[in-house]
Structure 1
Amino acid sequence: MNNNTILLVEDDREISEMLQSYLTAENFEVLCAYDGREACRIFDQTQVQLVLLDLMIPKISGMEVMQYIRKSSYVPIMILSAKDSEGDKTLGLGLGADDYITKPFSLAELLARIKANLRRTTQYDAAAAPAPVVLTAGEVTMNLSDYTVSKGGAPLELTAKEFEILKLFLQNPKKVYTKEQIYALVWKDAYYGDENAVNVHISRLRNKLEDDSRNPKYVLTVWGIGYKLGDAL
């Protein structure tokens, strides 16, 4: 098993075989699952670096597969779906997906987004921290050595992107970030003009951090510009 192993969950065998062939030619190892139960079984038995997940799959839905994975792993999950409504994208990103690509898509764009998502995990693996690095704000504590976050001593379960957004704010508490800057720094990719990904992750992060997400004190909106860490923390 190499360190570029992808779990592809797609019940359309023609699409699955096409993607497997293309990604294999790009030096990825691709494991194929054709239903939700098989996807969960392969994930439990194999170390994968990224999951490509269709939502409309038999036995267990793609959303359920994603929730199952997120119980134990922050591995990047990219949704591949023919559903292109804002509601579907919001739900998918909100449940823990790192990216959402609407079918039909170009193989070149898919490859670029896969590489962008993998760069984050590669950087984590390459970075050797000799001692725990802890960031704090108010009751929130982030440990960069084991990628844990807690509030008032209670653990917070954040997705990989939520973790990266919070880390960005904690490391630069006085800086205001535009949505374009957040996307570039967290997604490690060019900004395509779609604010939905940033908006959804900020909203989900607030729901987990704030006592009242309608009156946040940790992640503040700077109207007309972007977001920043709360001043009073």
Structure 2
Amino acid sequence: MLNMENEEISILVVDDEERIRRLLKMYLEREHYQITEAEDGEEALKKALEYDYDLILLDLMMPKMDGIEVAEKLREEKTTPIMMLTAKGEEVNRIQGFEVGADDYIVKPFSPREVVLRVSAMLKRTHVAKEKESSDPDLIVTEHIEIDNRSHSVLVDKKTVNLTPKEYELLLYLTRSPNQIFGREQLLREVWKYEFFGDLRTVDTHVKRLREKLAKQSQEAAKSIVTVWGLGYKFSVQSEESKK
């Protein structure tokens, strides 16, 4: 499904139900992905920190350590893409998942084929982003934020800020068109590449998380991402005249 050897792609499948792990493993291995399993949160975190997976399928409700805690602790060290597996009635928990760094989610009960397609789409976006960072020499510099798309790095007041892949893509998309207002639907389409109707709160929770990370280094940097009520978001850049 990707323009790369799937045999080189490693995926960690985390779920306390063996039946679900086996099902996902079977379907994903048909696409020649390399699959590792974990049956609880503690085992998942240990493996995710020891090895650089290309993607983690992470169940939300698990013994020992739930998916929220795993994602939160993992984000302190790594930016591995995370797709959260959630039950139908766990909407609040899905929002929490986005807040701690999950990039996408899929609701149980799910079609294994849909999971394979969603996994392929996420891996493709990640792969394209990596290709762009190696070939695109863009360097975006604002008063408080510097984005180097060659190294996929973000500096806020000269200090490194670690963002998840989706947070980085969102910031990059906004900063490339300063002062332009983008609606939530447009951001879902352009940043998340959703060709179906996605949850608009996905955008809101990622913006909130992004602001929080920027604010740790600079309140002014965080204020650059402006909510335009009733319309969406924009990256605000003041002209020299307006600063006087």
- Same fold by TM-score greater than 0.5: yes
Gaps of 5+ in 2: 1-5, 240-244
Residue 75 (structure 2) aligned to one of 70, 73, 91: 70
Partner of 2:203: 198
Pairwise CA distance, 1:99: 0.7
Taking every aligned residue pair, what percent have the same amino acid on both sides?
35
Q: How far apart, in 2, do the equivalents of 1:221 and 1:118 lie?
A: 30
More deviation, 36-45/15-24: 36-45
Residue 121 (structure 2) aligned to one of 101, 116, 119: 116
Q: How far apart, in 2, do the equivalents of 1:84 and 1:145 lie?
A: 41
Partner of 1:152: 157
Q: How far apart, in 2, do the equivalents of 1:219 and 1:65 lie?
A: 28
Whether 2:223 is the aligned partner of 1:217: answer yes
Corresponding residue SS for 1:187: coil
Pairwise CA distance, 1:174: 3.8
More deviation, 15-24/221-230: 221-230
RMSD: 2.4
Aligned pair in 2 of structure 1 residues 128, 15: CA closer, same or farther (>3 Å)?
closer
For residue 227 of structure 1, what is the amino acid of its counterpart?
Y
Whether 2:192 is the aligned partner of 1:187: answer yes
More deviation, 144-153/38-47: 38-47
Whether 2:3 is the aligned partner of 1:14: answer no
Q: How does 1:13-162 map to 2 (within 5 A)?
A: 13-82=18-87, 84-127=89-132, 129=134, 133-162=138-167
1:101-137: CA deviation from partner (whole Å, max 9, x where unpaired)? 2211222332222122111221133346368532122
Aligned pair in 2 of structure 1 residues 139, 88: CA closer, same or farther (>3 Å)?
same
Partner of 2:7: 2
Partner of 2:238: 232
Pairwise CA distance, 1:212: 5.6
Corresponding residue SS for 1:188: coil
TM-score by length of 2: 0.85
Corresponding residue SS for 1:6: strand
More deviation, 18-27/194-203: 18-27
TM-score by length of 1: 0.88
Corresponding residue SS for 2:7: coil
Could you list the runs of 4 or more consecutive aligned residues of structure 1 that deviate by over 4 angstroms after TM superposition?
210-213
Q: Is the 8 A contact 2:187 2:203 kept in 1?
A: yes
Aligned pair in 2 of structure 1 residues 97, 178: CA closer, same or farther (>3 Å)?
same
